[in-house]
Amino acid sequence: MADVMSTAVSGLLAFRRGLDTTSQNIANAATAGYSRQRVELATRPAQAYGSGWIGSGVQVSTVARVYDSFLAAQVRGSASSVGRYDTMATEAERLDNVLGDSKTGLSAAFQKLVNAFQEVANDPSSVTSRQALLSQAGVFTGQLQGYDSRMRGFAAEVNDRLRAGAAEVTSLADSLAKLNTQIRDAYGRTGQPPNDLLDQRDRLVDQLSSHVDVSVVAQQDGSANVYVGTGQPLVVGSTATQFTVTPDRFDATRLNVAIQGVGGPIDISAQVTGGSLGGLLEYREQVLDPARDALGKVAAGVVAIVNGQHSQGITLTGAMGGPFFSLGSPTVLAGAGNAGNALVTASIANANALSGHDYILEYTGSWQLRDATGGATVALSGTGTSADPLTAEGLSIVVANTPLPGDRFRIEPTRDLVAGLELAIDDPADIAAASPVRTAADGANSGTGRISPPAVTNAANAALRSSVTIEFTSATTYSVNGAGSFTYTPGAPIAMNGWSASIDGAPATGDRFSIADNTSGTGDNSNLLAILGALDAPALAGGTASIAEAATQLTARIGMQTSQAQSNREAFTVVHEQDLAAQQSVSGVNLDEEAANLIMLQQAFQAASQLIAVAQSMFDSLLAATRS
């Protein structure tokens, strides 16, 4: 029944709820994740009278959160990006500090090695300079192994952080599933939204978004399904899926992120691109692994160049030079699901042709090779036997036993080479500074002919150090050891016995040139000069980059990736702050607004109280009239 009393009481109760809600907002003005609440008022059903419909007051229809799901999704998206690029930038900065330091970095280490070779070239008979070269070469190998050790440590840290992050995601997922149950039950009991529980759930989803990119789909019963990556379910209603780590198919020491399926963990690393976990995976895939590969490629280039030329010179004792450095071997990892018993080994056939990429070798009835990153097919030749190995991009691959279709192997040509990098000699006298042969022009020559220093082309030739005399029988012809008549072309190479030299100018008839054993070559630096020239020449990446350039390219690429990650972190931090501000402008508590609401509700409450007093007075007057 509509009357002043009941209408006033309804207002009193409604405004009391409004005051309670405003009080809650003010009390939680500094509470993280709190969404301000608002009392939704509606008129009570009117009563019909002969003179018309008379209102019966007001009622509270609900206490609603002031919440915008679109703004919430924007905040989570930008938080996921901040987590991704912050992790990328932080980890890349550490790697950049290791390899790019101007005093202790890779380029500086290589330059010090070159300088040590140059010191011996300046005084090849100096035992002190030779010892200094060996010391610096040992420092060089130690520095590269130090870089490799640090990067292995970084890789182990990635595993640890992935494991810890997966455990945190699982914990958050379990909490979300429990909240879904509580929220669903609360809706079922009252039909009203449990705002504080909804805020708690949003807070957990926000925390989750800092670890991995998420999407949320609200359900009609009040629960919310949460998906990670590109749609992998993490929380469905009251059920949470375990987020875990799983060993890589090829390398059990390398962890990937996964969700627990019915048949075991399902690797979803390729689908996770956001948050700190996505940043870790991206850092490992795009920065750390390529850096380790490139470092191994530089080491392989140094060893191939130095060893190759060093073996063509002679030591202080006159012996042919041996290997200056030793190096590790390419790594071959068998796939966990391989059904055959094939064994695959790989070696470096040509350091100049190494790409620095990793490969997947798959047997499909014949062997196929693909780039591990892009999946592009790589040209492969040979049959895989030791006599006819498979060859591709500087690699020699030998297969033993029997493969079955579907068997796969991951080949990492350069990633672990540095682990086996060592100095192969320890005696200064074993440094092959001199050439095993020398050239000379006869002192009685009357022409203007000049002979170049010899270049050793085959140090294993048994006749390498045998004496040879070239005599010009005319201005355009010459004989070798008195035999033959060869046409003279100025500057053209004359090659025999494993050496090559050239004569230019205008020799006269009877002029003689000799190539002989360099028995007194203790002061000869020609082989060291050849080593220095080879180190400075474009000997890597198919003849497009020198060792120094390859080292610079490696550190420059890491520096660029670091700078880009830092820029992205700064940009998305600004975006995230803007998204938070936009969300807070809608959902955050504004104390000035709440103070105004408080005054308005207080006045309304007082007015409703006054109406009750009026109703009481009317009732008293009515009673007094009936008594009289």
First to last CA, the chain: 27
Q: Which residues lie below 8 Å from residue 564, measured CB to CB, with a gap of 6+?
A: none
Mean pLDDT by groups of 10 residues along the chain of 628 residues: 77 90 92 92 86 86 92 94 96 94 91 95 93 96 95 96 97 96 93 93 95 94 92 94 95 94 90 94 96 95 95 92 95 94 95 92 95 92 94 95 95 95 95 94 94 91 94 95 93 94 95 90 88 91 88 94 95 95 92 92 88 82 77
How many C-beta atoms surround the C-beta of residue 622 within 10 A?
9
Q: Are 434 and 387 in contact (CB under 8 A)?
A: no
Contact 330, 417 (CB under 8 A): yes
Q: What is the pLDDT of residue 628?
A: 60
User: CA torsion sign, 283 to 285 to 289 to 291?
Assistant: negative
Contact assessment for residue 106 and residue 147, using Cβ atoms and an 8 Å cutoff: yes
CA distance 42 to 478: 117
pLDDT of residue 627: 76
3-state helix, strand, coil in the chain (%, to 5): 45, 20, 30
The number of angstroms, rounded, from the C-alpha of 588 to the middle of its chain's C-alpha atoms is 38
pTM of the model: 0.88
pLDDT in the model for residue 49: 82
Provide the 10 A C-beta neighbour count for residue 174.
14
In sequence order, the 6+-apart residues with CB closer than 8 A to the CB of 133 are 116, 117, 119, 120, 428, 431
Quick one: tokens of 481?
């050891």
Q: What is the pLDDT of residue 56?
A: 85
Distance CA 3, CA 7 (A): 6
Beta partners for residue 240, in sequence order: 235
- The CA R_g of the chain, rounded to the nearest whole Å, is 41
408 close to 362: Cβ distance less than 8 angstroms: yes
* Residue 304 CA from chain centroid, whole number: 28
Which residues, at least 6 apart from 571, have a Cβ–Cβ distance to it below 8 Å?
Answer: none
Among candidate residues 453, 446, 467, the one with its CA nearest the CA of residue 511: 446
Neighbours of 567 (CB within 10 A): 12
